[in-house]
Chains A and B, each alone.
Chain A
Amino acid sequence: MARRTGLWSIALAILMVAPAFAHHSFAVYDHTRTLTLRGTVTRFQWTNPHGFIEMDVQQSDGSVKHYSVELTSINMMQRVGWRSNMIKAGDKVQVVVAPLLSGEPVGLGLEVVLADGKTMALPVPAIGSFKRTDTQE
């Protein structure tokens, strides 16, 4: 019984921390691989509960695929140095994302190389749980 209570304490301790960080679960994203998107920003959306980078990514066959990159809360971003004017439509950026498991063209942004070459990390909770493979999209 003591052992069972102990296990539940651990489970609870994990649960009590996990949902508190984010407005929702990040379990919809693939934790086993990342994609590197290089493309042109169509919109940088500075909103809560999450920000977004909308971008067009050139494919190897010449076609263009549109991606939505989900970011964290802009409050968290702002506290670690992000600003709403850091990205604008037309910017060429490189973004490392954890892709949506469903296969739809959406990714969770983990890191962004801005148009001026500066690398900005995203304050994603448990970011280490996303295995970086940085496959070129």
Chain B
Amino acid sequence: MVNKPTHIDTTYAMRLLRRLIKPEYYEDIAGDLGEQIDLYKIKEKVIFWWLWKEVILLLHPSLLRPLLKFEKLKNSNIMLVNYLRIASRQFKKYKMNTAINLIGLSTGMAACILIFLFVQDELSYDRHHENAEDIYRVTVQNFTTDGDLSRHWAFASAGHAERLKEDYPSITHAVRFFPWAFPDLEYGDQRFPGEPVIFADDDVFDIFSFPFLLGSPETAFDDIFSLVLTEESAIRIFGNDWAEQDLLDKTIKLTARGQDFNFKVTGVMADMPDQQHFHFEYLAPLRLVAQAFGEEAMNNVGGNYNWLTYIRTSPNADIPSLTQSSVGFWEKYVDPIRGRPSSDFYKFQFQPLLDIHLYSNLEGEYETNGSIDQVYIFSIVGILLLVIACVNYMNLSTSHFTRRLKEIGVRKVLGSGRSALVMQFLVESTLITVLSLPIAMLLVWLALPVINDFVEKSLTLNLIDNYFLVLTLLSLLIIIGLIAGLYPALFLSRIGAVQSLKGKLASRPSKINFRSVLVTVQYAVVLGLIFALTVIESQIDFIRTSDPGYRKEAIIDLPLGRSFENLETFKTQLLASPNIEAVAYSSRIPTGRLMDSWGANFFRGDTAVDLDFRLPGIMVDEDFLDTYSIKLAAGSNFQKQMDTFADSIGYYIINRTAAEALGYDNPNDIIGENLRYGPYKGRIYGVTEDFHFESLHSPIVPMVMMKAGTRLRRASILVNTQRLPETLEHIESTWADFDPVNTVEYRFLEDRFEDQYVQEQRLSQMINVFTVVAILIGCLGLVGMVGFLIDTKTKEIGVRKVLGASVANVLGLIGTHFTILIGVAFILITPIAYYLMNDWLETFVYHIDMGALIVLLPVVIVMVITALSIGFQTIRAALDNPVKSLRTE
């Protein structure tokens, strides 16, 4: 008991107290505390907490020792004030220089902040779900007989989710999402045609965190006719004051394929945040569809990949081993195929939720995802821009040094140490960085709406909630201030007092000095960016103008609903207008994707041979080839009366690639041969020239077109664009006669065609903006640099002119300097840029070659820009009367 008080000295609480409190107070206060422990008989276990409580209460300003020694503080304050004063005088004296620095730094920072916001947004996808780390999407890979991956679906089959959950204990929850084919929604006398209602399993709310504004996730799916809204859909149906209307249990009528269902509103969720890889507006229990589809369909475990499936695993589940053991799933549920285990043909992949947005680009992605490449590209560009801005500052402030030599000399003579000079320059660079920040923020604020338009996001400059942004801004300030200031500080403070007072350096700056290196770096970055931009632009141009092998102009794509009947009459009525030249039906249209390959045999004589390649296809009518101007290489088009499904006989036209893949180099020879596609054996009637049904990202593959009378859900209408309004009106009114319920929705094929390359266009636009920024900053640097160069060469120019040099000679003198720098930058950057852009081009099956023009164009552009930005000053220097320049001393 007696010795207990001593040991409190060693506790952290007391050590902290001893450190913070005035030394003369410690002994008796510590004694008091020790005595109280005994006095109040404070238990061993709680001493720790009691001490901390007491110590925290003791941290009162009047008991603490002063944080900083007052004298020292006062001194450094005086110096700081002095540094700031000198700095502001400098800024005022050389206004041009200050302005250039401010513009350069703030533009660089603004671009950086924008890129930061973009990258931050891209990286934040799906992170708001509480269990995000343990959620995976179930995707299915299909393999060919040779074991090659043929397709990888973002979806699974109906029977997968439940069986996975039952068979694998580490999978605790599973949910399937299934879209209802756009039912019409009715509430009171309001009608909303074609609302996107999604069915989901009951586990959905245990997997994803969807906050409820009304109702609760526990009771949301109690009734089989439950309907959960989002705030957006609630507003659409019930108006802005939906929250006051007590929506729970209100009845909403949904109609699909002529059947009515009365749903009860059981909850309203918050809108799904932008940073989520799918967005739903209505959720309903999947049990309902399960009933409608019947047991057999719901137990399907092979094919029919229409069920977006997610699982939640127990924390830290071993996904590689789960994937490994899921091989057994296929063997258990799917019969062997052609004598080989089904696991040779199917595999599960479990995609981490957090990787989906940036890394996944599978077949049937629910929404267009981002790309990690883009994140990398922009991060690099952001850093490059920052480098350029810093380099610019270094360059300008060292160029500027001749003007400050005297100042440095005087300071040194008066006893200023080197560290004080270094501090002076660092304070200057930090100050100018701090001043650039508000300008940068202003620029960002102005640019955000435009950028948001580009990238289809809603980025905001939110300094209150986005503390990571604030942190980044602060570190940007410090880093730029230091990096930009360090070189000038070290360089300028190194110069001796006598030298600097004389106003010149003892040794002439050598040709390869640090400043030239800096300018070369700037040139290299600008050259690289222009090069990248040129390649991207040319590639996009190449794709857009290259002939896809079918007509894409003046065709209107009109999707037809499932219930759409009387295709023949519809076509006849459309063609009644003189402005409609042709109408074709097909199951899919060019710019879309081909239907997955059915099983197929080709007949050589009487022996059926399995195809050793995939043969995806579409179903078309007899007008398809003509409407799209797809040329026949051999054989003939379909007859109107042919109908594969009705006749159970196949009628086929294949493309040239398919003919070649079957071993017929001359397409004429394959006409009349037999093909079995799916269950339908039949003849090949024709061979088309190759055309790009899918985008130019993928090569032309063998394909088959089969003539059908049903399952044709797309109308392609070739119109006369001269009288477009009338034509569209005709289409709309004809549509209304056939389908009064749904509104007509059509698109021009050309728009769909452009949409295939929207990613590339966006990339090009963004790089465009940042290249302009880089060039702008680079030009500012050049203006400053050439000013310096002329300053140091005034005498030389004067002497040369006296000795008979012409203006052109003088221009050449300055120009050569920059030409050499551009040359060096070109040699340095071209191999790197060439390599990187070649990599990018390789992602296209059809791409341009980077010829001499593309390689040299950036140099020409940079030369011209340099000439423009330095031209004025240089010409003025060259025209100056030499008498004037020689007289100045």
Q: Do A and B come from one complex?
A: no
